[in-house]
Amino acid sequence: MSFSLDISNFTKKCSDNSDQLARKVVLEVGKSVIEKTPVGDASYWQSPAPKGYVGGHARGNWSHSEGALDTKEFDVVDPSGNTSNARILSSVPGKAGGKVHFIQNSVPYIQRLEDGYSRQAPNGMVGLTVIEFQSIFNKATGELK
């Protein structure tokens, strides 16, 4: 093998690894905020829930975009978070390295939830995930081939 071929193979491996690492990190950050997002439980409320109320709208509105924020609010109730996880999984490209990724939620009350409005998430979701970021990154790095 020639030196230039060795360098070329090394460069490709680094590029592939950065794509894999970025994808893993974005997916894990998304999963973390989704799991931390409270699901409305009317049994805690001081007044009765509206007729037909089902919690999970905030959890169902996490999404991913690349390069710019996406302010779309989804008309979905997703107490499990599966819909949001699938939405993020399908939107993060295989070539994710070197790009700016956003995990966002556009429900009008998401900042209140982040600020501790819910008993279920008194410390928010995003702030806690930011604190956990280094361990998320380290785990993703350890999983690279």
Tell me what pLDDT residue 4 has.
46
pLDDT at 44 over 90: no
- pLDDT greater at residue 50 or residue 110: 110
pTM, two decimal places: 0.86
Tell me what pLDDT residue 17 has.
83
Tell me what pLDDT residue 82 has.
98
Give the domain ranges of the chain. 11-142
**What's the distance, Cα to Cα, between the start and end of the chain in Å?**
22
pLDDT by residue (tens digit) across 7-26?
Answer: 444 445 545 688 899 999 99
Tell me what pLDDT residue 97 has.
87
